[in-house]
Structure 1
Amino acid sequence: MSPHLRRRTRALAGLLVPLALISAAPHAEPGRDKVAAAVRDDLKDGTATFFVRLRGEADPASAAARAPATKAAKGAAVYAAMTGYAERSQARLRELLTERNAAHTPFWIVNAVKVTADPALAAEISALPEVAGIEPIGTAEAPRPAPGTRQSLTAGGGVEWNIDRIKAPRVWKKLRNRGEGIVVATIDSGVDFEHPELAAQYRGSHPGGRVEHDYNWFDATGVCAGSAPCDDLGHGTHVTGIMTGRSGIGVAPRAEWIAVRGCESAKCANDFLLAAGQWILAPTDLDGRNPRPDLAPDIVNNSWAKARRDDWYRPVVKAWVAAGIFPMFANGNTGPGCDTTETPARYVESHSAGSFDVNDALMPESSRGPGENGVTKPDIAAPGVDIRSSVPGGYFVWTGTSMSSPHVAATVALMWSAAPALRGDIAATRALLDGTAVDTPDTGCGGTAADNNAFGEGRLNAYAAVRSVPREPLGTLHGTITTHGRPLPGTEVTVTGPLSRTVDTGRDGGFSLRRLPPGDYQVTAYKPGYATATTKLTIKADRTTTTRLRLRTDGPRGLG
């Protein structure tokens, strides 16, 4: 059964209590050493749905290390290694389940299979030597943020206080950087893709109003009607607005976004979140087929968490990191007590954000560290109190670390847009974020004035972070698209080479792409109703290259 099955027969109450299995006489009883007690208990009703966890996991870091140094190559290597490992280790289990006609969904992002079975089949599964355990399907939460109070705008042009506080407008104006060329993603409650703040930045949007949801949207829950993105809760739309909103609510207003719905309500079932994690690494078409690791986002924001401390999502985060995808998490809203950082934010591999207000004071509910093995958590703090952003139908003000995390995610987009060579280097990016944060003393939960379990490394400073990125020789491309001697606005121009970028022409038919690494590129111009035009050119460091392409309504494709 496909992991992208869109309709699930799951009662809401079943989301709040982990699914479990147990046998009852006269059925055969699964081996107790492998079966969780809650799972054994649930099988008394005859059938249950559960995870079968197999022994061993793929090594995505090793696969990425053997691949060429590009992000696309690393993503492809990680995908091949993980799917291959899952197919080999799960082969006998999958064969058994197919023979028994048992509903099952194999995963590859973790070495597990979701199974619905009766006690007798559960006993057969448990007897397989490659099976490590049979476990309940739990849930995480998309914490419902608290309503906030709108703060006064703090800068000209309608920029919200939180955007101004991290100095994002300085990046836009002084560094001429709004996140161009970078793709951010959310795993959340969905997104209102037609919201005026977000519509133009959706990667599925094309000139002339054409919209393509393949590879840009995935509903792991099956809640949304039809194939288009939806968000009946508003949480994901709010988070996405903080990252890419256009009119002063977003940190990186020219970054593109894609999204996964992994939360069917305020709850996020673990199987949905695993399917979401897979899609982030290798987006698929709307049928869940033809995965494309080369279309994976650069950054993924996760404003959800679970209180239970376990490793269930660690393989997902490790795979993202190996593939060069920055893993950003909200630290949680369970403060002010110490050691309250939630999962997966508490993982060493995760980068997590705490929350502060307009007075730079820590939000009382912001979860404190330390994280696992005593590491500092959160890693950094960002605005999260009284944050105005987009929701379906308008705007709303919310408070929570759910709002803090996307500030950091979008700052990474600004950093990677400024320095393409840094793109996909998670360790170096984390070091720059930490090194440029504003030290804020709070040692109540341990640490030092510069590195503590309340503010982490300090308060986010997007301008300092972007200025700290390695300087590299880059070039600029200017071009014009015409037809029959007239400018052709609304043409989609794609540049592929050492870096791939897409931009639309303006009213004058012109386009401009800055911060391109030197090298050979192909430029493709596309507009419905016209023959596609292509040309090849070379970008040189510290130089501006110009090109002109003519699109024809008839005849062969033309080069300008």
Structure 2
Amino acid sequence: MTLSREGEHVPPHLRRRARVLAGLIALLAAVPQAAAHAEPDGGKIATAVRDDLKDGAATFFVRLKGEADPAAARAPATKAAKAAAVYAAKTGYAERSQARLRGLLTERHAVHTPFWIVNAVKVTADPALAAEIAALPEVAGIEPIGTAEVPRPASGTQQSLTAAKGVEWNIDRIKAPRVWKKLHNRGEGVVVATIDSGVDFAHPELAAQYRGSRPGGRVQHDHNWFDATGVCAGPTPCDNLGHGTHVTGIMTGRSGIGVAPRAEWIAVKGCESAKCADDFLLAAGQWIIAPTDRDGRNPRPVLAPDIVNNSWAKARRDDWCRPVVQAWVAAGIFPMFAAGNTGPGCDTTETPARYAESHSAGSFDVNDALMPESSRGPGENEVTKPDIAAPGVDIRSSVPGGYFVWTGTSMSSPHVAATVTLMWSAAPALRGDIAATRALLDGTAIDAPDAGCGGTADDDNAFGEGRLDAYAAVRSVPDEPLGTLRGTVTARGRPLPGTEVTLTGPLRRTTANGRPLPEAEAAGPPLRRTVDTGRDGGFSLRRLPPGDYQVTASRPGHTTATLTIKADRTITARLRPTRSR
């Protein structure tokens, strides 16, 4: 006998009805419960951010839908115009698409930082405001702020194999001295940037090549240096890790440690130390396209560098940095990355080096053997990675206060970046043509077959296209007729040493005999070259495309002259600055 709780007998057919009714009641009761656990933001808030919000306010990225198409930069002929076009397209799109979000955040007095290099805003908000943000239809997602890392270089042992030649083994191995001596090219007229831990700008290896250097030991850090992290005390560049100074020395060091010792360098500190927060890297990426003053104001795309070296990486695979790399390419800025030190396994190339848009470097040693830790490919969509290999084992270069020997792909990448400066110095018309430059780099690399991770004998996923050959790469560029300007700066017949001479142009491109080129052929990247006069008041500027240039000498007054540089000719000029009143 079945009894109810009151002890009454319940017929079987009523028991069946009761069970059905109980199931319906349970189902109905589950509906509001499920709704209570549903994500009111439509799943836009990432789990990591949701967890942070449980403790109150959190800081995160708000990603908005869509990105500006940098295709607007394809039309301008000059590199400076390309950078300006990318900056205008990116900032305009960000202002329009972020307008409602920025207005809401301002109204709520929420701390926020908008970015334009990617369509995102960094926000600090409580759970209620986060939910309100997520409800905006233009918001694609609310994501945590991640970090990248400077690949930890290992201490190495100094090699003495080329001590008699006065250069480090790695510089000799890629044949950079042949470029200097046989082609009379040390990277003049090209600017290379680094996003890293900073730079010791006063290091004797680097001080003269810093674009901010001025006569008499003065420096101008605005538009030449930026600290995105806020770590450096005051406006002076610093490097609290030494990594960025080491990398910059490999590119432009003067005493045999650098590939392009006459190229100019600028830098942005995007890494607090060994860690590089995503928001700092985004700020650094923006600065590369439109360098600002030290306060982050007065952006000037005309001062964008030609090449940017990135010896940092993210183990996580995502697309967060792809718009940055794409914007650099559209602006005619060569994007160079270290492949990473997570080998010897295959498919270990890190982000952003694994992007098809990035040019990446693996590492080999003094015996031309691949460094075991050098990250391998393939990259995304099975593209070959790394793209090329360069010296990266036992590399001696500058660090704050002296020199150090380090090992890693962080040391390989700047060899390639600096080789591009030599190529673009040899052929100024090639500046900003990323695709053509990559093809020449790859086509002149020395094959180093390694089938361990797939690929072909001349293009594998260990060495990439092969080992870097700077001399062959520079020899492969278009043969461009170039001229030289030499002169003296005097006052009352006496030479003026330490005078800054600035050349800009060409204002008009000409043929070898000085005749104007047709407008369709005359478009070319403008140059801005600065040099200080020596003890005799003399100066020299080499590797100038034919055309009309404006030359200015300043100390303590100024004088301006317009000179026509002819191909394969040396023009002599005398400048006489006026005295300041």
TM-score higher than 0.5: yes
| 2:428 paired with 1:423 | no
| Residue of structure 2 in register with 1:276 after alignment | 284
Comparing 120-129 with 29-38, which one deviates more in the overlay? Answer: 29-38
Q: What's the CA shift string for 1:488-529, capped at 9, x where partnerless?
A: 1111111111222111111221111122111111100112xx
Query: Is the 8 Å Cα contact of residues 29 and 119 (structure 1) preserved in structure 2?
Result: no
In structure 1, give the amino acid aligned to 2:356: V
In structure 1, give the amino acid aligned to 2:573: T
| Residue of structure 2 in register with 1:303 after alignment | 311
In structure 2, give the amino acid aligned to 1:417: S
Query: Is the 8 Å Cα contact of residues 61 and 143 (structure 2) preserved in structure 1?
Result: yes
CA distance in 2 between counterparts of 1:206 and 1:228 reads: 15
Question: What is the CA-CA distance between 1:160 and the residue it aligns to?
Answer: 0.3
Question: What is the CA-CA distance between 1:542 and the residue it aligns to?
Answer: 2.2
| 2:75 paired with 1:66 | yes
| Residue of structure 2 in register with 1:31 after alignment | 41
| 2:352 paired with 1:324 | no
| Residue of structure 1 in register with 2:562 after alignment | 536
Secondary structure of the residue aligned to 1:46 is: coil
Comparing 546-555 with 268-277, which one deviates more in the overlay? Answer: 546-555
Which of residues 241, 252, 266 is equivalent to 2:260?
252
In structure 2, give the amino acid aligned to 1:399: T
Structure 1: 5+ residue stretches without partners: 1-25, 556-560
Query: Is the 8 Å Cα contact of residues 188 and 543 (structure 2) preserved in structure 1?
Result: no
Question: After the TM superposition, which residues 336-375 of structure 1 pair with which residues of structure 2 at under 5 Å, given as runs?
Answer: 336-375=344-383
Structure 1 length as normaliser, TM-score? 0.92
CA distance in 1 between counterparts of 2:400 and 2:274 reads: 17
| Residue of structure 2 in register with 1:472 after alignment | 480
Identity value in percent: 87
CA distance in 2 between counterparts of 1:554 and 1:413 reads: 37
CA distance in 2 between counterparts of 1:307 and 1:28 reads: 32
CA distance in 1 between counterparts of 2:261 and 2:42 reads: 54
| Residue of structure 1 in register with 2:542 after alignment | 514
Question: What is the CA-CA distance between 1:27 and the residue it aligns to?
Answer: 13
Query: Is the 8 Å Cα contact of residues 153 and 159 (structure 1) preserved in structure 2?
Result: no
CA distance in 1 between counterparts of 2:347 and 2:155 reads: 25
| Residue of structure 2 in register with 1:111 after alignment | 119
| 2:147 paired with 1:139 | yes
Query: Is the 8 Å Cα contact of residues 155 and 164 (structure 1) preserved in structure 2?
Result: no
Question: What is the CA-CA distance between 1:29 and the residue it aligns to?
Answer: 6.6
| Residue of structure 2 in register with 1:49 after alignment | 59
In structure 2, give the amino acid aligned to 1:519: G
CA distance in 2 between counterparts of 1:196 and 1:335 reads: 35
In structure 1, give the amino acid aligned to 2:65: R
Question: What is the CA-CA distance between 1:308 and the residue it aligns to?
Answer: 0.6
CA distance in 1 between counterparts of 2:89 and 2:306 reads: 20
| 2:460 paired with 1:452 | yes
Question: What is the CA-CA distance between 1:212 and the residue it aligns to?
Answer: 0.8
**CA radius of gyration, larger in:** 2
Structure 2 length as normaliser, TM-score? 0.89
Question: What is the CA-CA distance between 1:536 and the residue it aligns to?
Answer: 0.7
| 2:246 paired with 1:216 | no
Query: Is the 8 Å Cα contact of residues 239 and 400 (structure 2) preserved in structure 1?
Result: yes
Comparing 513-522 with 438-447, which one deviates more in the overlay? Answer: 513-522
Comparing 115-124 with 151-160, which one deviates more in the overlay? Answer: 151-160
Q: What's the CA shift string for 1:115-167, capped at 9, x where partnerless?
A: 00011101110010000011000000011200001111415452000000000
Secondary structure of the residue aligned to 1:535 is: strand
Structure 2: 5+ residue stretches without partners: 1-35, 507-526
CA distance in 2 between counterparts of 1:502 and 1:193 reads: 17
CA distance in 1 between counterparts of 2:563 and 2:104 reads: 55
CA distance in 1 between counterparts of 2:559 and 2:198 reads: 36
Which of residues 181, 190, 195 is equivalent to 1:173?
181
Query: Is the 8 Å Cα contact of residues 215 and 283 (structure 1) preserved in structure 2?
Result: yes
Moved over 3 A (4+): 26-30
| Residue of structure 1 in register with 2:551 after alignment | 523
Secondary structure of the residue aligned to 1:403 is: helix
| Residue of structure 2 in register with 1:7 after alignment | none
Question: What is the CA-CA distance between 1:32 and the residue it aligns to?
Answer: 4.0
CA distance in 2 between counterparts of 1:554 and 1:436 reads: 53
Q: What's the CA shift string for 1:171-229, capped at 9, x where partnerless?
A: 11111111111111110000111111111111111110101110011111100001010
Secondary structure of the residue aligned to 1:240 is: helix
CA distance in 1 between counterparts of 2:535 and 2:38 reads: 72
Which of residues 545, 552, 555 is equivalent to 2:571?
545
| 2:550 paired with 1:505 | no
Query: Is the 8 Å Cα contact of residues 193 and 202 (structure 1) preserved in structure 2?
Result: yes
Comparing 496-505 with 34-43, which one deviates more in the overlay? Answer: 496-505
In structure 2, give the amino acid aligned to 1:325: I
| 2:226 paired with 1:198 | no
CA distance in 2 between counterparts of 1:330 and 1:287 reads: 29
CA distance in 2 between counterparts of 1:30 and 1:151 reads: 62
Q: What's the CA shift string for 1:521-547, capped at 9, x where partnerless?
A: 1100112xx211111111122222221
Question: After the TM superposition, which residues 377-392 of structure 1 pair with which residues of structure 2 at under 5 Å, given as runs?
Answer: 377-392=385-400
In structure 2, give the amino acid aligned to 1:539: I
Query: Is the 8 Å Cα contact of residues 29 and 123 (structure 1) preserved in structure 2?
Result: no
CA distance in 1 between counterparts of 2:295 and 2:273 reads: 23
Q: What's the CA shift string for 1:352-384, capped at 9, x where partnerless?
A: 000000000000000000000000000000000
Secondary structure of the residue aligned to 1:497 is: strand
Which of residues 258, 264, 271 is equivalent to 1:263?
271
1:32/1:554 Cα in 2 relative to 1: closer, same or farther (>3 Å)? closer
Question: What is the CA-CA distance between 1:286 and the residue it aligns to?
Answer: 1.1
Secondary structure of the residue aligned to 2:438 is: helix
Aligned residues: 527
Query: Is the 8 Å Cα contact of residues 149 and 274 (structure 2) preserved in structure 1?
Result: yes
CA distance in 2 between counterparts of 1:554 and 1:181 reads: 30
Question: What is the CA-CA distance between 1:232 and the residue it aligns to?
Answer: 1.3
Which of residues 439, 457, 465 is equivalent to 2:447?
439
In structure 2, give the amino acid aligned to 1:511: F
Q: What's the CA shift string for 1:442-487, capped at 9, x where partnerless?
A: 0110011110000000000000001111001222111111111011
CA RMSD of aligned residues (A): 1.5
